[in-house]
């Protein structure tokens, strides 16, 4: 279009056309409103190309706010693809300096096979947004109206692009903000979660601590044992309720007082010294785990306790806790147990004695027939002989046969008795090398209760390093216990002099081990060796077998057992056992 | 009764057996000894007063079992028991089962001789009684059935007339049968006849 048209009609038409184009250009922002820069540019380019019948339109947007530069070119249908955007850009580069103010209004260049007039227009006041370039092969390009439309369009585009840029910037900022918010939110959530976990953990730990403290408190409070803590000075800090039951002190009474008040006088110094030494050297003067000690109650009564100690260092201070168990009952029970064990052993020994007697009784019954047969024959023959003699019926041959029968049957009876004796000796004996002193001491312990009850004073004169004897321990115990019990019984009726029991062991002239059990008892009025006869007894309850059996037991060990009167009172029972090689350690 | 008495000794001990034989021989007794119950049982016992001197403790059959065995065999020989040891329950059982004496070895000779004498006397009496019953039985067996009928009614105390009425015969017939039965039984009187019937009804008799 030619602005300089002379024809007014043409001019009016031209102006109307321009007004229409301007209106279209002004309408462009409505089309691209809210759009991306690329869309704005494309819309603009298409509109200009169509409106001004341009051969090419080119736009280059500068890089802004992280957005990549845009370079777009549009050609008229006829000029399709004669050049790439960057080629146009490179051409323009040479013409267009940095300052749009200095740009030429019009440039001419050859593009393809045509000369093209090119109009550059800055986008933005300083061309800071970019550049738009319109090119046409027409010689009259650009007419005034065309230049107006181009500049208005460039302004419109600048505004749109500005807005778009702003929008995109806002969007970017907003999204960045969103992202930051989201990130922060995530971080917060994580932190929150961690915090919650930590809180939970802490709460858990607190609960644990509380329940553990509670548990410990309950344990200490309800413990059967007294739990008493003291500090480094030995002063009592804590005492649990059991302290009252065990020691008789109210816990409040003893807190702050020295621990030694719970000990008998004689132990206090020992404790103090030991404690001082421990603090100084770390050396313990006694076992800390379950030691048996003597404690003292409020009323002064001493009693057995079992104590365990614990040590705790807190804030540089040492705290000592004692767990004190009253074992006086246990001790009593143990004593009783020992006593009943001794009784049991006594009973067993008695049982062994009785069962031996029973066995002998059965033996007696079973051999009665055997012994009675020859005795019967002897008596029958003897009686018959007496009858014949009374009737003066004296046939020597008849009498001789009868007397031979008597001798044979007498011999037979004695053989039966010998068999019984052999049978008794065949009692299974388990002989081992023994230290006789050990057996003596065992039996004195075993009879300890009876000795104590009967107020017998025991004197042991045992020779050390005695040789061993080869003996059945049980049988030897039986012999010794028998002699000791006999002595106790012999001493029972003694009231006007000490009741003495002397047990001696030594080597005699024959190099045998000799044991003597002497008492200051009643002794024997009778022929002293009769005490060894079966069924001889001076006791009301005795069976009279003890010494007899003891003697056969000693003899079955190759020894001898005999009795002698003691001077001035009582009896001495002595027995020997052959010594064997080796010496008791 | 004509035969000499015999003492049987059962003891497993040879010395005891021979000493008993010797002792009993000093009072003139004939002794036969055995070492076991079985050996004694194999012996045919003579028809003469006898007794058994028996050790309670015997190998195999014990003395008390042996006593029971003899009872089962209807051998009514008096027993003098000897035992090695005085077992009271055992002696009570033996005495209840008819033992004459229970002597504990060793015993006084006189005690044994007394016991043996009593045992032999008891056996002699028993034998005489058994013999008498046997003779009466033979006589009783020689009676006719009508005579036995009449005799049993006479013994029960009925008069001749009453018997005749019960049997449906004449009184004179009853009289004849009665006197013939008395004659066959060698009864000297009615009282004698009653005594004989009682013996036959006794433990050794066959009536009833």
At residue A541, the pLDDT reads 44
Nearest to A381 among B19, B82, B107 (CB): B19
Best CA proximity match to A501, nearest among A479, A486, A512 = A486
Chain A contacts of B105, Cβ < 8 Å? 372-373, 375-376
Best of A375, A378, A384 to mutate (most B CBs within 10 Å, chain B):
A384
Two tokens at A152? 């208005």
Which of A144-148, A192-196, A362-366, A437-441 is modeled with the greatest confidence?
A437-441
Nearest to A376 among B26, B27, B106 (CB): B106
Q: Determine the straight-line distance between the first and last CA of chain B, rounded to whole angstroms.
A: 28
- The whole-number average pLDDT for the span A110-139 is 80
pLDDT tens-digit series, residues A46-58: 888 888 888 888 8
Q: Determine contact: B21 vs chain A, CB below 8 A.
A: no
Q: Determine contact: A500 vs chain B, CB below 8 A.
A: no
Share of chain A above pLDDT 90, in %: 8
* Same domain assignment for residues A315 and A256: yes
Residue A181 falls inside a structural domain: no
**Separation of alpha carbons A151 and A128, rounded Å:** 15
At residue A585, the pLDDT reads 44
**CB-based contact B85 A378, cutoff 8 Å:** no
* Same domain assignment for residues A147 and A44: yes
**CB-based contact A372 B26, cutoff 8 Å:** no
Residue A217 falls inside a structural domain: no
Domain boundary among A175, A190, A208: A175
pLDDT tens-digit series, residues A129-139: 888 888 888 88
Best CA proximity match to B53, nearest among B4, B2, B115 = B115
Contacts 24+ apart (CB under 8 A), A389-397: A391/B26, A393/B26
Q: How confident is the model at residue A307 (pLDDT cuts 50, 70, 90)?
A: confident
Which CATH number do you get for residue A401? 1.10.287
Which CATH number do you get for residue A573? 3.30.565.10
Q: Determine contact: A413 vs chain B, CB below 8 A.
A: no
- The whole-number average pLDDT for the span A69-79 is 78
* Same domain assignment for residues A443 and A379: no
Residues 6+ apart with CB under 8 A from A84: A73
| More confident call, A273 vs B32 | B32
Write the DSSP symbol of residue A67: B
* Same domain assignment for residues A299 and A344: no
Two tokens at A504? 């001696």
**CB-based contact B85 A372, cutoff 8 Å:** yes
At residue B50, the pLDDT reads 94
Q: How many CB atoms lie within 10 A of CB A284?
A: 13
Q: What ipTM does the predicted assembly reach?
A: 0.76
Q: Determine contact: A379 vs chain B, CB below 8 A.
A: yes
**CB-based contact A380 B109, cutoff 8 Å:** yes
b/e burial code for range B1-14 (CB count within 10 A of at least 16 → b): eeeebbbbbbbbbe
Domain boundary among A367, A394, A425: A425
**CB-based contact B16 A377, cutoff 8 Å:** yes
Nearest to B19 among A365, A380, A393 (CB): A380
Residue A196 falls inside a structural domain: no
Interface subset of B 47-106, CB within 8 angstroms of A: 57, 82, 84-85, 105-106
Best of A383, A395, A399, A412 to mutate (most B CBs within 10 Å, chain B):
A383
For B12, the closest chain A residue by CA position comes to A373
Q: Determine contact: A368 vs chain B, CB below 8 A.
A: yes
**Separation of alpha carbons A239 and B190, rounded Å:** 122
* Same domain assignment for residues A548 and A476: yes
Residue A198 falls inside a structural domain: no
Cβ pair B63, B134 in contact under 8 A: no
* Same domain assignment for residues A336 and A241: no
pLDDT tens-digit series, residues A493-531: 888 888 889 999 999 988 899 999 999 888 776 556 556
Best CA proximity match to B66, nearest among B44, B89, B47, B39 = B39
* Same domain assignment for residues A106 and A137: yes
Residue A207 falls inside a structural domain: no
* Same domain assignment for residues A421 and A436: no
Best CA proximity match to B116, nearest among B2, B7, B3, B1 = B7
* Same domain assignment for residues A507 and A555: yes
For B87, the closest chain A residue by CA position comes to A365
Question: How many structural domains compose chain A?
Answer: 4
Nearest to A368 among B82, B85, B108 (CB): B85
Two tokens at A445? 């312990």
* Same domain assignment for residues A315 and A380: no
Please count the residue pairs, one from chain A and one from chain B, whose beta carbons lie less than 8 angstroms apart: 74
Chain B contacts of A373, Cβ < 8 Å? 13, 15-16, 84, 105
**CB-based contact B84 A373, cutoff 8 Å:** yes
With a cut of 70, say whether residue A425 has pLDDT above it: no
Q: Determine contact: A402 vs chain B, CB below 8 A.
A: yes
Residues forming beta bridges with residue A562, ordered by sequence position: A574
Q: How far, rounded to the nearest angstrom, does the alpha carbon of residue A108 sit from its chain's CA centroid?
A: 99
Which of A89-98, A264-273, A340-349 is modeled with the greatest confidence?
A264-273
* Same domain assignment for residues A97 and A39: yes
Residue A202 falls inside a structural domain: no
**Separation of alpha carbons A569 and A500, rounded Å:** 10
Nearest to B84 among A369, A379, A401 (CB): A369
With a cut of 80, say whether residue B58 has pLDDT above it: no
Q: How confident is the model at residue A149 (pLDDT cuts 50, 70, 90)?
A: confident
**Separation of alpha carbons A291 and A304, rounded Å:** 10
Cβ pair B116, B7 in contact under 8 A: yes
* Same domain assignment for residues A452 and A548: yes
pLDDT tens-digit series, residues B119-153: 999 999 999 988 889 999 999 999 899 998 898 88
Which CATH number do you get for residue A232? 3.30.450.20
**Separation of alpha carbons A330 and A224, rounded Å:** 14
Q: Determine contact: A388 vs chain B, CB below 8 A.
A: yes
Best CA proximity match to A560, nearest among A546, A569, A550, A545 = A550
**CB-based contact B26 A384, cutoff 8 Å:** yes
Distance from CA of B145 to the nearest CA of A (A): 59
Chain B contacts of A380, Cβ < 8 Å? 16, 19-20, 22-23, 106, 109, 112
Chain A contacts of B15, Cβ < 8 Å? 373-374, 377, 405, 408-409, 412
How far from A333 is each of A295, A341, A442, A446, A447, CA to CA, in Å? 19, 12, 21, 18, 19
pLDDT tens-digit series, residues A458-501: 888 999 889 999 998 878 888 888 888 888 888 888 888 888 89
Residue A180 falls inside a structural domain: no
At residue B30, the pLDDT reads 94
Domain boundary among A425, A445, A468: A425
Q: Give the domains, in start order, of chain B with CATH numbers.
A: 6-127 (3.40.50.2300), 142-201 (1.10.10.10)
**Separation of alpha carbons A306 and A317, rounded Å:** 26
Q: Which domain holds residue A404?
A: 331-425
**CB-based contact A380 B23, cutoff 8 Å:** yes
């Amino acid at each position: 279009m030619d602005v300089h048209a002379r024809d007014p009609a043409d001019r009016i038409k031209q102006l109307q056309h321009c007004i229409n184009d301007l209106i279209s250009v002004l309408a462009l922002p409505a089309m691209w409103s809210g759009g991306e820069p690329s869309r704005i540019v494309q819309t603009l380019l298409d509109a200009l190309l169509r409106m001004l019948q341009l051969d090419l339109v080119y736009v280059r947007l500068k890089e802004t706010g992280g957005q990549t530069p845009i370079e777009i070119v549009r050609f008229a249908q006829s000029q399709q693809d004669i050049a790439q955007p960057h080629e146009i850009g490179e051409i323009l580069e040479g013409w267009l300096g940095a300052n749009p103010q200095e740009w030429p209004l019009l440039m001419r260049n050859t593009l393809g096979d045509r000369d093209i007039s090119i109009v550059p227009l800055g986008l933005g006041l300083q061309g800071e947004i970019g550049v738009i370039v319109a090119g046409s092969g027409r010689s009259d390009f650009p007419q005034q109206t065309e230049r107006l439309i181009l500049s208005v369009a460039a302004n419109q585009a600048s505004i749109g692009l500005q807005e778009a840029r702003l929008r995109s910037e806002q969007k970017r900022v907003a999204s960045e903000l969103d992202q930051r918010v989201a990130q922060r939110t995530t971080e917060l959530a994580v932190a929150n979660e961690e915090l919650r976990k930590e809180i939970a953990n802490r709460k858990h730990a607190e609960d644990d601590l509380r329940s553990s403290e509670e548990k410990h408190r309950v344990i200490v409070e309800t413990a059967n044992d007294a739990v008493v803590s003291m500090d480094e000075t030995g002063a009592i800090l804590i005492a649990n309720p059991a302290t009252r039951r065990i020691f008789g002190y109210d816990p409040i009474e003893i807190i702050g007082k020295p621990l030694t008040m719970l000990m008998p006088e004689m132990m206090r110094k020992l404790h103090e010294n030991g404690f001082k030494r421990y603090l100084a050297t770390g050396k313990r003067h006694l076992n800390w785990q379950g030691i048996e000690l003597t404690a003292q109650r409020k009323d002064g009564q001493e009693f057995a306790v079992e104590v365990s100690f614990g040590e705790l260092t807190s804030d540089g201070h040492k705290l000592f806790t004692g767990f004190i168990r009253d074992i006086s009952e246990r001790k009593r029970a143990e004593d009783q147990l020992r006593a009943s064990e001794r009784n049991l052993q006594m009973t067993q020994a008695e049982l062994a004695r009785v069962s031996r007697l029973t066995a002998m009784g059965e033996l007696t019954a079973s051999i009665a027939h055997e012994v009675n047969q020859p005795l019967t024959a002897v008596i029958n023959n003897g009686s018959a002989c007496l009858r014949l003699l009374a009737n003066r019926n004296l046939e020597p041959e008849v009498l001789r046969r009868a007397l031979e029968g008597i001798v044979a049957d007498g011999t037979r009876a004695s053989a039966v008795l010998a068999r019984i004796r052999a049978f008794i000796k065949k009692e299974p004996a388990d002989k081992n090398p023994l230290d006789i002193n050990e057996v003596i001491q065992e039996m004195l312990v075993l009879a300890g209760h009876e000795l104590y009850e009967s107020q017998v004073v025991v004197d042991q004169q045992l020779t050390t390093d005695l040789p061993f004897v080869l003996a059945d321990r049980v049988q030897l115990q039986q012999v010794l216990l028998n002699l000791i019990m006999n002595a106790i019984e012999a001493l029972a009726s003694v009231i006007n002099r000490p009741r003495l029991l002397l047990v001696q062991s030594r080597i005699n002239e024959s190099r045998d081990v000799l044991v003597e059990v002497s008492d200051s008892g009643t002794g024997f009025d009778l022929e002293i060796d009769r005490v060894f006869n079966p069924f001889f007894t001076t006791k009301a309850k005795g069976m009279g077998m003890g010494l007899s059996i003891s003697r056969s037991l000693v003899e079955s060990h190759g020894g001898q057992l005999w009795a002698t009167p003691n001077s001035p009172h009582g009896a001495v029972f002595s027995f020997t056992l052959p010594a064997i090689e080796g010496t008791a350690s | 009764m004509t035969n000499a008495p015999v003492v049987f000794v059962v003891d497993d001990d040879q010395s005891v057996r021979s000493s008993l034989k010797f002792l009993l021989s000093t009072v003139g007794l004939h002794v036969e000894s055995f070492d076991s119950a079985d050996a004694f049982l194999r012996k045919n016992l003579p028809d003469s007063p006898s007794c058994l001197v028996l050790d309670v403790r015997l190998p195999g059959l014990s003395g008390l079992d042996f006593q029971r065995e003899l009872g089962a065999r209807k051998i009514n020989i008096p027993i003098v028991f000897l035992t090695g040891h005085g077992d009271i329950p055992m002696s009570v059982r033996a005495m209840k089962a008819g033992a004459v004496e229970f002597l504990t070895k060793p015993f006084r000779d006189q005690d044994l001789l007394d016991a043996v004498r009593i045992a032999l006397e008891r056996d002699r009496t028993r034998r005489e009684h058994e013999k008498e019953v046997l003779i009466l039985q033979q006589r009783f067996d020689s009676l006719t059935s009508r005579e036995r009928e009449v005799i049993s009614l006479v013994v029960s105390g009925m008069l001749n007339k009453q018997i005749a009425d019960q049997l449906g015969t004449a009184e004179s017939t009853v009289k004849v049968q009665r006197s013939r039965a008395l004659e066959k039984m060698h009864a000297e009187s009615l009282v004698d006849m009653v005594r004989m019937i009682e013996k036959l009804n006794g433990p050794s008799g066959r009536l009833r």
